[in-house]
Structure 1
Amino acid sequence: MKLDSKRTALIAGAALVAAALAFALSRAGFFSAPDISSLWSWSLDNWETTSVGASGDAVRVAHEPLALARNLALISAAFIGVLLGAPRVVEIVTRSGRAGAATEAPEDLVKTRRLIDGELGTILSLVRSHLDSNKTYSAALAKGHRELAATTSPDQIRAAIVLLIAENQKMLRETEEHQRRLEESRRQITELRAELAETQELNVRDSLTQVFTRRHFDETLAREANAASATESALSLIMADIDHFKKINDGHGHLIGDEVLKNFAKTMSKHVEEKDTVARYGGEEFAIIMPAVSFAEAKLAAERIRAEFENKKWAIKGGAPIGRITASFGVAQLAPRESAESLLQRTDAKLYVSKSRGRNLVTVDTDTTPR
């Protein structure tokens, strides 16, 4: 069950004031002291207990209620600080794993990360401020305890209790302000993280075709190749290139060329699964990473993409037909102990075999011998 922080603080403050009042009244003689065995349940005085250690010797244990309360408050605040600082630690570790990408991050990505760092810094400052408040509060309680223990005058007792109540109210106000500011920082960080995720997603997507970028392709291929080698599972790669794309750009303009690129990317994405990665490798060249897919299955997918793209009817709006546009493909499967770079080279080589044999073809490298 989750308790409201204000209510918890009120209960704790009221308990401390009640304990101080009971102790003071007892010292002033307003009522007789209770049984010694139950003194610990209400007194702020230190006490000792005796127990038998493992060696059989008597061990005396000193108990200090105020010190215990102070230490618990400090430990709790420190624990909160660790929890609040954990996202920053995760972010630092994550950044260290992709140092190269971080140095080339776009300006808006760097700006968003800087804002998140600023908010996390604000939270840490609030935690430090709360620790300082706890120290001041503990010192005030200790002072009130000393004053109550040293006096029997009702007026002095009343003044000491007023001091304790005032300190408790001050602590409540500071806690409420800390809670408000922490909630505001939490909300800001949530918004900034959403913005950061969106910016990172845009950063790995090609702005024209909306498939993944070359950088994301390189990172994904290396990761999937390592995973496939570790689990001895299949990993296939398709490389594709739009035939005579320069002629399309030169003859019909770059706007038509852009439409061809977008349509080809959409056609490729249509014939793969969600786990597969479609990327624009460069210019009019594309690639598909297909985990847990054999070269035979990858060849079928490439054939479906080739056939659908070949059968599209292209025409300029309000103008003459453009004619047939085709694409060439190379397919290969990761061999045992083969690197991602080697798989990419073999697949690219088969793509150029398709080009040299007349284009509009799918050529497969069936060689999966250990490398």
Structure 2
Amino acid sequence: MTAAAAKQPIPLGIPGRGPEEVEESYRFSEMALALIEEHNTPPFPETYAFWYSYASRTSDSLVSAVDRMIEGRSEISRYEMGEIAKAHLPKEDELTRTNERIGKEFSARISDVVDLVRSGASDSNEFQKALDSIGADLPDQITQEGLKKVLARLIEENQHMVERSRALHAGLEKSQEQIAQLSIELDDVRKQSTRDPLTGVANRRSFDAHLEQSIAAALKTGESLCLVMADIDHFKNINDNFGHQVGDDVLKVFAHLIRKNVKGRDLVARYGGEEFAIILPKTEAHSAVKLIDSIREQISQKRLLLRQSREKLGQITASFGVAAYENGISSAEFIEKADVQLYRAKRTGRNKVCLSERSCETISG
């Protein structure tokens, strides 16, 4: 046991956790602390949580991504860890809490409306009873004085009903405004839950759902479907040489460029880190390659400058892998097909578009 782990207090009792679970948690804790030291990452709560999740294999996709990241390397940056965590670990706590709050407020507003309607119905019943009582007493009031009393009572009951109706209308109008505002907030939460906060394109969760839907549609209609995996070349060098803020700006520029080149039915998503995915429904492979090669050329021709120093970043390039859907393959296999072509483009020199069974060099020109 490490010295750090030895200093941890022994729990006197953890409800719902047996001795084996407690012992296992200590083992994962030791592993996390060892990984923090091995990869020279600061022992902040978020980095500890990251390595603990890796040690306990919370997510298979996280483990695979981290294994690729740490292969042959001793030092890992917090930025890299954050990018992997965002892509592979649950991150919707704040959105979940907001969703729950909106749901509770919706329930409260609906309850208010129900109470107002019940109150209005009760007031109507009371008014009807008053009218019935006046009608029943009317034969005995056929005198000038009696008719005055009946009229005064009718005016009084009518005034009460007018006031109650106004209150009901005001209450319903207020509830309507509150519900409309909650609807706007709920729509904002929905958008946030499907969008990458940095680039504004779809996030990984939205991509996964959209890909399944696109595959189902292609199987049903028999129409073509293409998937593109894209990766900014030498992105780590940009972060190392100019800082992560500049790296973020490059991601934004790249995402914007892709979005302005695709159609409304297409989906652009940030797959993780500097990698993006593009779903192209109703698109043949040759058309997809032509579109993507145009995007490749546009990004390679851009010359970006730092805002303050006006220093040139140099040429920014990207590599692309294109795959056409084949009946019977799963979404994971479809992604793998595009990924294989992406890594082929990387291996053969970068700044290329690769499609299976074709030469990357011929495609990119």
Same fold by TM-score greater than 0.5: yes
The Cα shift of 1:214 comes to 1.4
The Cα shift of 1:238 comes to 1.1
Partner residue, 2:95:
105
Partner residue, 1:144:
134
| Residue 273 in structure 1 maps to residue 263 in structure 2 | yes
Instruction: Work out whether residues 278 and 286 of structure 1, in 8 Å CA contact, stay in contact via their aligned partners in 2.
Output: yes
CA distance in 2, matches of 1:279, 1:161: 72
Instruction: Work out whether residues 209 and 261 of structure 1, in 8 Å CA contact, stay in contact via their aligned partners in 2.
Output: yes
The Cα shift of 1:152 comes to 4.8
Partner residue, 1:362:
353
TM normalised by structure 2 equals 0.65
Q: Percent identity?
A: 35
1:359 partner SS = coil
Which of 234, 259, 281 lines up with 2:249 in the alignment?
Answer: 259
Partner residue, 1:233:
223
CA distance in 2, matches of 1:245, 1:103: 29
CA distance in 2, matches of 1:163, 1:231: 72
> Residues 171, 319 of structure 1: CA spacing in aligned structure 2 closer, same or farther, 3 A cutoff?
closer
2:196 partner SS = coil
Alignment of 1:328-367 (within 5 A): 328-365=319-356
| Residue 286 in structure 1 maps to residue 276 in structure 2 | yes
The Cα shift of 1:287 comes to 0.9
Partner residue, 1:322:
313
The Cα shift of 1:208 comes to 1.8
> Residues 162, 231 of structure 1: CA spacing in aligned structure 2 closer, same or farther, 3 A cutoff?
farther
Greater Rg over alpha carbons, structure: 1
Partner residue, 2:200:
210
> Residues 134, 265 of structure 1: CA spacing in aligned structure 2 closer, same or farther, 3 A cutoff?
same
Partner residue, 2:27:
none
Partner residue, 1:59:
none
The Cα shift of 1:241 comes to 0.7
1:105 partner SS = helix
CA distance in 2, matches of 1:155, 1:101: 77
Partner residue, 1:18:
none
Q: Deviations over 1:8-50 (max 9, x none)?
A: xxxxxxxxxxxxxxxxxxxxxxxxxxxxxxxxxxxxxxxxxxx
Alignment of 1:1-371 (within 5 A): 105-149=95-139, 152-153=142-143, 155-316=145-306, 318=309, 321-365=312-356
The Cα shift of 1:296 comes to 1.7
Instruction: Work out whether residues 221 and 289 of structure 1, in 8 Å CA contact, stay in contact via their aligned partners in 2.
Output: yes
Q: Gaps (5+ residues) in structure 1?
A: 1-99
Q: Deviations over 1:88-117 (max 9, x none)?
A: xxxxxxxxxxxx999773444443443333
The Cα shift of 1:185 comes to 1.8
Partner residue, 1:16:
none
The Cα shift of 1:206 comes to 1.9
The Cα shift of 1:175 comes to 0.7
1:360 partner SS = coil
> Residues 248, 103 of structure 1: CA spacing in aligned structure 2 closer, same or farther, 3 A cutoff?
closer
2:187 partner SS = helix
The RMSD of aligned alpha carbons is: 2.8
TM normalised by structure 1 equals 0.64
> Residues 149, 363 of structure 1: CA spacing in aligned structure 2 closer, same or farther, 3 A cutoff?
farther
CA distance in 2, matches of 1:186, 1:322: 53
Partner residue, 2:51:
none
CA distance in 2, matches of 1:340, 1:134: 60
Partner residue, 1:19:
none
Instruction: Work out whether residues 238 and 329 of structure 1, in 8 Å CA contact, stay in contact via their aligned partners in 2.
Output: yes
> Residues 104, 226 of structure 1: CA spacing in aligned structure 2 closer, same or farther, 3 A cutoff?
farther
The Cα shift of 1:133 comes to 1.0
What residue identity is the alignment partner of 1:194?
A: I
2:95 partner SS = coil
Q: Deviations over 1:191-221 (max 9, x none)?
A: 3322332343234322222222112222222
CA distance in 1, matches of 2:123, 2:106: 26
> Residues 365, 148 of structure 1: CA spacing in aligned structure 2 closer, same or farther, 3 A cutoff?
farther
The Cα shift of 1:134 comes to 1.6
Instruction: Work out whether residues 92 and 193 of structure 2, in 8 Å CA contact, stay in contact via their aligned partners in 1.
Output: no
Shifted more, 251-260 versus 193-202: the winner is 193-202
Partner residue, 1:57:
none
> Residues 252, 152 of structure 1: CA spacing in aligned structure 2 closer, same or farther, 3 A cutoff?
closer
Q: Gaps (5+ residues) in structure 2?
A: 1-89, 359-365
The Cα shift of 1:301 comes to 1.3
The Cα shift of 1:258 comes to 1.5
The Cα shift of 1:174 comes to 0.6
> Residues 150, 346 of structure 1: CA spacing in aligned structure 2 closer, same or farther, 3 A cutoff?
farther
The Cα shift of 1:155 comes to 3.9
1:198 partner SS = helix
What residue identity is the alignment partner of 1:304?
A: S
Instruction: Work out whether residues 332 and 366 of structure 1, in 8 Å CA contact, stay in contact via their aligned partners in 2.
Output: no
CA distance in 1, matches of 2:356, 2:115: 60
Q: Deviations over 1:119-143 (max 9, x none)?
A: 2222121111111112212222222
